Amino acid sequence: MALSDFDLVLFGGGGDLAMRKLLPAMYNRHRANDLPPAARIIAVGRHPWSHDEFLNTLEQNARPHILQDHFNDAAWESFRKRLSYVSLDASDGHTYGALAQTMRNDADNKTGTPVTRVFYLAMPPNLFATICRHLKECGLATPESRVVLEKPLGRDLASARQINHEVGQVFAESQIYRIDHYLGKETVQNLLALRFGNVLFEPLWRREWISDVQITIAEELGVGNRLDYYETAGALRDMLQNHLLQLLCIVAMEPPVSTSPNAVRDEKLKVLRSLKRFTPQMLTQNVVRGQYRSGHVDGVAVPGYRKEPNANPTSRTETFVAVKAEIDTWRWAGVPFYLRTGKRMADQLAEIVVRFKKIPHSIFARPNSSFQSNSLIISLQPDEGLQMNLMAKTPGDGMRLRPVELELDFRETFKMPRMDAYERLLLDVLRGQLTLFMRSDELEAAWEWVEPILEHWEQEGDDPLPYTAGTWGPAAASALISRDGLQWREESIPEK
């Protein structure tokens, strides 16, 4: 689907997200000839930069994040010509005049087609409503324009509802794109294809055949230069409330009637509303909170969270969280979903593990065989692919079984240029495709389920459990899953 002419306005256009992700993503789409000739990108920020100063910043901070084999001098130079920079104070409506003068009216478009206006708010959420209100006051928020909201979308249910209400005073729900970049990953798209494009798994995708589901997003990195943000967010708000719950929804939702936005989002909402609510006992047993201490990652000594530069030496901010979730539906009753995320972990990975139940009876002599349950592993990063673990006979005399892996590496299989998650999602915004973006009721349902955890932590006043950097988190995370007679995937892999 070809794009119509657009003005993409990046609030926070000189910031970290714009330089690392958004502008490189738009360059890649420019290089692939996906952008109309007259499409423009307008970066907005508080820095009083001239146009040349902004381009110099782009050269220093955005260009290094473009893959070398994607870089082309001619394409880069022509991409730079699409860019402009506007200095304004997002909280001061009097400074929006410069942006209004820079943006085009439909009458200004030489192609004769309407200009799509997209406002991407890579800004703190306390500014969302203010920016939207000022856009309306200066006539830029039209019924045809769109607004993209970056996470975090609130700190709790009340603030999320307030954001939804105040942004909704300016933009209709159909104009609001609440972005979660994990939903733009190729493997998440392939999970939809795997589930709903094949008859093979659907009869097995239920409690009768599935033992448990594990969803892990682990990072080797610490907080880096995001300490100020992370100190107010923590792992639960930063990762679990959005990324992990959205992945859970894709795994657990019922087949939608189509891929239309509301058909998919209706089914995701049903999952969120079916999550078993926490009792006080469940909050104690089914939730683990941790914070990394000094250790070694890839053989390099790293400081603990409280010893990071400018850190609070008594901080209670969690850098790790593991949760056992349950879904009260006919399909999933009794199947535990284990969600886990953390910083300074033993490896960097994001994966979904769907583990099937054990065979009801073995006809093979156990001393000669090493049995494992079948499992499907959907890898999101660092490599994207699918892996099916099965049992097979080893070559030679006798009947000895051992686990084998059937792997699908998307890069090797399709051998074609791949889009980054932000590339795909930005194109969807520009096309007006809402399927991969959260609806307001989804956002609020996620906060409703998460908020009792936050309240419990606040009331108990305990420190997070310490774990050594370079490990898989606190020992309590292993205990969380072992109480059900299960193990995290890395613990269940036999040593060679």
User: CA–CA separation, 175 vs 265, rounded Å?
Assistant: 15
- Judged on CB neighbours under 10 Å (0-12, 13-18, 19+), 114 is middle
Tokens of 339: 């969600």
Q: Exposure pattern of 327-352 as b/e (b: 16+ CB <10 Å)?
A: bebebbeebbbbbbbbbbbbeebbbb
User: CA–CA separation, 490 vs 202, rounded Å?
Assistant: 27
Residues facing 381 on adjacent strands: 350
Which residue, 128, 160, 249, 124, is CA-closest to 443? Answer: 160
- Which residues participate in catalysis according to the annotation? 243
Coil, strand or helix at 145? coil
Contacts of 452 (CB under 8 A, 6+ apart): 277, 278, 283
User: CA–CA separation, 57 vs 44, rounded Å?
Assistant: 13
What's the DSSP call for residue 108?
G
User: CA–CA separation, 47 vs 26, rounded Å?
Assistant: 22
Amino acid at 326: E
Q: DSSP of 185-216, one letter per residue?
A: SHHHHHHHHHHHS-SSSGGGSSTTTEEEEEEE
What's the DSSP call for residue 238?
I
Residue 242 exposure: Cα atoms within 13 Å on the Cβ side: 26
Tokens of 179: 């972005």
